[in-house]
């Protein structure tokens, strides 16, 4: 059983980006984060993304707004970032206050700066297999993990557990692309699926993105499967200082011995997500340079 | 074995639309067709769509351009149709001359007038399960056929053969939606799929959209399956006047006896496609009225 080491891979990706940028002339890529309100998780996430950006040599800026900002004002702010040629990527940190419509706000980011890949346009371009599309960082991180571990996907059966807009669906679309690193037969399962374990047992590659702790049990996985665990779930753990620990969607201890390879939680896909955000920012920068020449 | 009768269903849909429009006040829905060049198939298709529109009470207009029109000029023409509030739907008949980029042209149609559902925006909105999205007419016709025959999809396994942008992918996205008429487990197979018949035999509903005559043979289908045949393939037939006949992707004579229900070719999904174009035009008209009130 091989461990799909997200820590190692993400460091590899970040080092490559850093190296690429070391030789770059002119102003570096710049990503601007937008945070509305002071949700502690959002503060933490944006902060850790900014640290990674600094590590790589990507400039990052942070714009914070009070929860009281109207959607109209926020859209105006995004509009001026869209128009600002020194900004290559824009990321609006979710969740937004309840008086806003997240889709409208995400869609207001110019497609070529939408490094989070959440806009209608980038989802559509993913369906169209447009190589310039920005793919949401988590599914992009899964695909990159599979690719870097040289796991063959062509003609193999990828089973995706979960049909969310930010993981399940884009992951399914990624693996069915006409591309040597994709070309997989793809099945999307979810809460309504009947005979679920009958399907998951057929997976060559199983992607668990259902958001339930230890949902995937040993009987659901055939020997030799590749398992990618996307879940990040808190479970009570009185023995830990915080009183909880983070587990994935896969019952790791029981499932891992049956796998050819498996990504752990933590230390797996989660770290890939941030690395792919930097990758996407780099891509936005490169595309903007291409268009200006 | 029940025949999924596209002729009957499409007439039903067209009658319903006609009835709805009989009571409507003010100018009726209007769809404008754009045809570039004189490709006989295109002439035929646009003509038959216009006839169906007239039948229902939908106004249709036809704009034809010589093959020599530049893409820029065509985009300008589409731009003025976008701005024309008397036009609710715009359909650019494919194929376009080789000096044009089809995606750019399709994307120039305003999303709210894109009754063909081919634009990046409408594909993205399909992924997002936006009820105002326009879904391409063939996959929409498949879903409508399944719905009108009261075939349950929730939790059942829909296997889609083919991953094209105009049938396979949108059909897969339709059937995995969180919707009582969807909620299916969906598998997308294609030319690279291994052990194909092992997968197709697991289908509760099999959608064949692979573009190869008689591709689906009896051994690929389990007893009791619902089969929807999307193929429209010409095969030589010296006994026919034209020298050919149209067959689907399914070997109908061998497969039909095993099925719970099957759509024939011709007389199946093909007719649903035109009906759904009228449905989409009606929807565009209704949405435009809603927005003006």
Contact residues, chain A, for B190 at CB < 8 Å: 176, 183, 185
Contact residues, chain A, for B189 at CB < 8 Å: 185
Q: What is the largest CA-CA distance in chain B?
A: 59
| Nearest Cα to Cα of residue A251 among A225, A291, A288, A213 | A213
Rounded Cα gap, residues A13 and B216, in angstroms = 44
The DSSP letter of residue B219 is G
Residue-wise pLDDT for B160-186, tens only, equals 999 999 999 999 999 999 999 999 999
Residues of chain B with pLDDT > 90, as a percent, come to: 97
Same domain, A198 and A81: no
What the block records as the tokens of A1 is 């059983």
Same domain, A147 and A247: yes
Q: Residue A227 has what pLDDT?
A: 98
Rounded Cα gap, residues B267 and A78, in angstroms = 51
Q: Does some domain include residue B64?
A: yes
> Which conformational region is residue A186 in: left (phi greater than 0), alpha (psi within -120 to 50 degrees), or beta?
beta
- Please give the average per-residue pLDDT across A132-143, as a whole number: 98
Choose among A126, A178, A185: nearest Cβ to B199.
Answer: A185
Name the band, by pLDDT with cuts 50, 70 and 90, for residue B125: very high
Residue-wise pLDDT for B63-75, tens only, equals 999 999 999 999 9
- Structural domain count of chain A: 2
Kindly tell me if the per-residue pLDDT of B292 is higher than 90.
no
> Which conformational region is residue B144 in: left (phi greater than 0), alpha (psi within -120 to 50 degrees), or beta?
alpha
Name the band, by pLDDT with cuts 50, 70 and 90, for residue B25: confident
Q: Does some domain include residue A118?
A: no
Residue-wise pLDDT for B74-104, tens only, equals 999 999 999 999 999 999 999 999 999 999 9
For residues A229 and A263, the answer to whether their CB atoms sit within 8 Å is: yes
Rounded Cα gap, residues B18 and B9, in angstroms = 14
* DSSP bridge pairs for B83: none
Residue-wise pLDDT for A194-220, tens only, equals 999 999 999 999 999 999 999 999 999
**DSSP letters spanning B44-97:** HHHHHHHHHHHHHT-EEEEEEE-TT--HHHHHHHHHHHHH-TT--EEEEPSPPP
Same domain, A36 and A105: yes
How many C-alpha atoms does B147 have within 13 Å on its Cβ side? 16
Q: Going by C-beta distance under 8 Å and a sequence separation of 6 or more, which residues neighbour residue A76?
A: none
Q: Would you state the torsion angle of the CA atoms of residues A41, A46, A47, A48, taken in this order, to the nearest 10 degrees? A: 90
Choose among B128, B154, B178: nearest Cβ to A120.
Answer: B128
Q: Residue A111 has what pLDDT?
A: 98
- Which residues of B are known to be catalytic? 49, 93, 116
Q: Residue A291 has what pLDDT?
A: 84
CATH number of the domain within which A80 lies: 3.40.50.10860
- Which residues of A are known to be catalytic? 49, 93, 116
Q: Residue B108 has what pLDDT?
A: 98
Same domain, A106 and A143: no
Same domain, A164 and A225: yes
Same domain, B141 and B263: yes
Name the band, by pLDDT with cuts 50, 70 and 90, for residue A235: very high
| Nearest Cα to Cα of residue A258 among A231, A225, A229 | A225
Q: Least CA distance to B191: which residue of chain A?
A: A155
Q: Residue B242 has what pLDDT?
A: 92
> Which conformational region is residue A51 in: left (phi greater than 0), alpha (psi within -120 to 50 degrees), or beta?
alpha
Q: Does some domain include residue A129?
A: no
Same domain, B157 and B248: yes
For residues B57 and B30, the answer to whether their CB atoms sit within 8 Å is: no
Same domain, A207 and A147: yes
Q: Residue B48 has what pLDDT?
A: 95
Contact residues, chain A, for B193 at CB < 8 Å: 155, 185
Tell me if B192 and A183 make a contact (CB, 8 A cut-off).
Answer: yes
Q: Residue B23 has what pLDDT?
A: 87
Q: Does some domain include residue B8?
A: no
| Contact pairs from chain A to chain B, CB under 8 Å | 102
Q: Does some domain include residue A282?
A: no
Q: Residue A173 has what pLDDT?
A: 98
Q: Does some domain include residue A115?
A: no
CATH number of the domain within which B162 lies: 3.40.50.720
Average pLDDT over chain B, rounded to whole?
97
Q: Residue A26 has what pLDDT?
A: 86
Domain housing A96: 27-110
Tell me if B165 and A194 make a contact (CB, 8 A cut-off).
Answer: no
Helix (H) or strand (E) holding A227: strand A226-229
Same domain, B204 and B253: yes
Kindly tell me if the per-residue pLDDT of B261 is higher than 90.
yes
Q: Least CA distance to B179: which residue of chain A?
A: A192
Torsion sign (Cα): B7, B8, B9, B13: positive
What is the 3-class SS of B20-47, one letter each residue? HHHCCCCCCCEEEEEEECCCHHHHHHHH
Rounded Cα gap, residues A30 and A289, in angstroms = 13
Q: Residue A32 has what pLDDT?
A: 98
Q: Does some domain include residue B34?
A: yes
Beta pairing, strands A89-92 & A30-36: parallel
For residues A265 and A207, the answer to whether their CB atoms sit within 8 Å is: no
Same domain, A77 and A182: no
Choose among A121, A169, A189: nearest Cβ to B185.
Answer: A189
Tell me if A188 and B185 make a contact (CB, 8 A cut-off).
Answer: yes
User: Is there a binding annotation on residue A162?
Assistant: yes
B212, with CB counted inside 10 A (0-12, 13-18, 19+), is: middle
Same domain, B170 and B85: no
Q: Does some domain include residue B7?
A: no
- ipTM tops 0.90: yes
Same domain, B100 and B155: no
């Amino acid at each position: 059983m091989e461990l799909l080491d997200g820590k190692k891979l993400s460091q590899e990706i970040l080092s490559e980006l850093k190296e690429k940028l070391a030789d770059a002339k002119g102003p570096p890529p710049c990503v601007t984060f937008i945070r509305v309100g002071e949700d502690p998780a959002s503060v933490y996430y944006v902060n850790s993304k900014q640290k990674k950006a600094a590590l790589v040599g990507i400039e990052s800026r942070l714009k914070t707004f009070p929860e009281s900002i109207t959607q109209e004002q926020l859209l105006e702010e995004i509009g001026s970032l869209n128009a600002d040629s020194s900004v290559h990527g824009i990321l609006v940190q979710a969740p937004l206050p309840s008086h806003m419509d997240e889709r409208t706000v995400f869609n207001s980011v110019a497609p070529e700066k939408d490094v989070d890949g959440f806009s209608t346009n980038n989802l559509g371009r993913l369906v169209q297999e447009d190589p310039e599309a920005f793919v949401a960082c988590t599914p992009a991180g899964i695909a990159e993990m599979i690719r870097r571990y040289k796991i063959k996907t062509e003609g193999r059966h990828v089973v995706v557990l979960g049909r969310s807009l930010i993981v399940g669906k884009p992951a399914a679309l990624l693996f069915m692309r006409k591309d040597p690193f994709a070309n997989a037969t793809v099945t999307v399962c979810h809460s309504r699926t009947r005979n679920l374990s009958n399907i998951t047992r057929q997976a060559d590659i199983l992607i668990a993105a259902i958001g339930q702790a230890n949902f995937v049990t040993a009987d659901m996985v055939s020997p030799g499967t590749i398992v990618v665990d996307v879940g990040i779930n808190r479970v009570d753990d009185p023995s830990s200082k915080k009183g909880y620990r983070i587990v994935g969607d896969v019952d790791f201890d029981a499932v891992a011995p049956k796998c050819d390879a498996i990504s752990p939680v933590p230390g797996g896909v989660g770290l890939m997500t941030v690395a792919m955000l930097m990758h996407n920012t780099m891509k936005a920068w490169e595309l903007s340079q291409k268009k200006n020449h």
